[in-house]
Amino acid sequence: MAWGFGKKQRQDEKHDEDDEDDEDDNVDLVNFQGALEGRTADMAANTRLVQVALRPTKDLVTEGLERRAEVMRMDIKGEKAQVALMIDGMPYAGPRLAKSQANAVIQMLKVLCGLDARVKGKPQSGGVKAEFQGIKYELTVEVAPQPDSSERLTIRVRNLSIRLETPQDLGFSDSLRQTIRDLTSNRRGLIVCCGMPGTGVTTTTYALLRGIDVYLYSIYSIAKTSRELLNIKQFEVNPGDDLQTSMMRMIREEADVIFVDPIRDADTTQQLMSVADRICVISEMQAKDCANALAQLAEWSGDPQKASELIEGAFSQKLVRLLCTQCREAFRPNPKLLEKVGLPPETKILYRKGVPAVNEKTGEEDDPCEKCGGVGFYGRMAMIEAIIVTDPIRKLIASSAPPDQIKALARAEGCLTFHRDGLRLVAEGKTSLEELQRVFKG
């Protein structure tokens, strides 16, 4: 069942729950299409709340979707509530609401997600399907109680039309894609993707996984995921089996590559190491960069020498904003600038964020770009760092060397760095030098 029909198009829709809210408007509004996770949104039991809060809830979510927000967060302070939007990883101010209206919106979203609107003293989370301007979304809703007895609302947006699944989708270079194929062809060793929360590490992990030739290698997954894994067998875990037992079963079924849940502790690391000499294991973990991930794995393994023999490579990513292709500005770079940043001297054109033109008659800026809304950027892409474990790097891992030594040697050996991959994106006109500087400073 769907609640909210956006632009009014048919007279026979007048009898649906929220149609009264839209009778005087001819605007597109988000269309909520049912709760996620098998829950049911009981609209009939919350008739009064629906009448009061459904329209403001749709207005709030619609503005966030119109502005391409990946996160909407609402905090109640005093008698007002402020909404903040994260757009391409950057914070922007959203609408302000009265406290009473904000509370009603929070309770309405609980109902839409199939949660209990009466519960206010403990965290709740759920989700709701939505459609806006022909695009399907999944909205994950989190409500957390605050010390002042208010509630913080967080909505995380997943645009189902954007498929960042393959190395090509994420803009991996040809050489990087070949590196992935070479590593997994060994049918042994541990390969990790690493990063901090919110940096896209899971998406990069899935892209790496999909960079493997599924027609040459048998790939099994034991990871808990809602993402579709085409041509990858989801392995059934027997009740009571631990990770190591399940992995041994996959080896007996002649798997070449296995994909497991994120590595978070020494016990998991040691179980993975126990089979990594017979099968290629792919996972992800939280770490600042590749060198820190390698050092952490060596420590967790309890046997740095063994870890050095089994770890094959680490990949990490930083998200960089992409220039809006509709309003970006081309310019001829100064040769000294090219030399300073490390771009080839034959680079003829670079791009930067567009600036709205000024009307000569009025002295006012022209209307902002229709595509990006005047932000100058539209979407993000991953810059990749990769450390492929060579014999010299193995010696450092075996000696429990600190991350800075591993990083220095990797650079000396020509491993892919964020800086180098970022300059590739600049040279291709996908981002700007200013954006690179912002990301590296952050």
CATH of the domain at 421: 3.40.50.300
Q: Per-residue confidence at 14, pLDDT binned at 50, 70, 90?
A: very low
Each residue's pLDDT tens digit, 348-391: 999 999 887 777 777 677 788 889 888 899 999 889 999 999 99
Domain C-terminal end among 102, 128, 159? 159
Residue 115 lies in a domain: yes
For residue 121, what are the domain limits? 11-159
Its pTM stands at: 0.80
Do 151 and 256 belong to one domain? no
Do 153 and 198 belong to one domain? no
164 has pLDDT over 80: no
Do 23 and 150 belong to one domain? yes
25 has pLDDT over 70: no
Predicted confidence at residue 22, as pLDDT, reads 45
Q: What is the mean pLDDT of residues 314-342?
A: 94
330 has pLDDT over 60: yes
Do 258 and 235 belong to one domain? yes
Do 223 and 299 belong to one domain? yes
230 has pLDDT over 60: yes
Torsion of CA 71, 76, 77, 78, to 10 degrees: 160
Predicted confidence at residue 63, as pLDDT, reads 96
Do 227 and 369 belong to one domain? yes
Predicted confidence at residue 185, as pLDDT, reads 87
Q: What is the mean pLDDT of residues 100-124?
A: 94
1 has pLDDT over 60: no
**Which CATH number goes with the domain that contains 23?**
3.30.450.90
Q: What is the mean pLDDT of residues 216-227?
A: 86
Q: What is the mean pLDDT of residues 299-317?
A: 96
Do 155 and 178 belong to one domain? no
Residue 420 lies in a domain: yes
Domain C-terminal end among 159, 188, 206? 159
Q: What is the mean pLDDT of residues 202-228?
A: 86
Burial class (CB in 10 A: 0-12, 13-18, 19+), 368: middle
**Number of domains the chain is built from:** 2
Predicted confidence at residue 243, as pLDDT, reads 93
182's tokens: 């070479």
Do 152 and 203 belong to one domain? no
Domain C-terminal end among 131, 159, 187? 159
Closest CA to 140 of 70, 74, 60: 70
Residue 165 lies in a domain: no
Predicted confidence at residue 11, as pLDDT, reads 34
Residue 6 lies in a domain: no
> 300 to each of 199, 222, 309, how far by Cα in Å?
23, 21, 15
- Strand, helix or coil at 267? helix
Do 80 and 200 belong to one domain? no
Do 139 and 226 belong to one domain? no
Residue 2 lies in a domain: no
Predicted confidence at residue 391, as pLDDT, reads 97
Residue 407 lies in a domain: yes
Contact 207, 381 (CB under 8 A): no
33 has pLDDT over 60: yes
Do 69 and 100 belong to one domain? yes
Residue 48 lies in a domain: yes
Q: What is the mean pLDDT of residues 87-97?
A: 94
Do 80 and 121 belong to one domain? yes
Predicted confidence at residue 26, as pLDDT, reads 59
Residue 200 lies in a domain: yes
Q: What is the mean pLDDT of residues 258-271?
A: 96
Mean pLDDT of the chain: 89
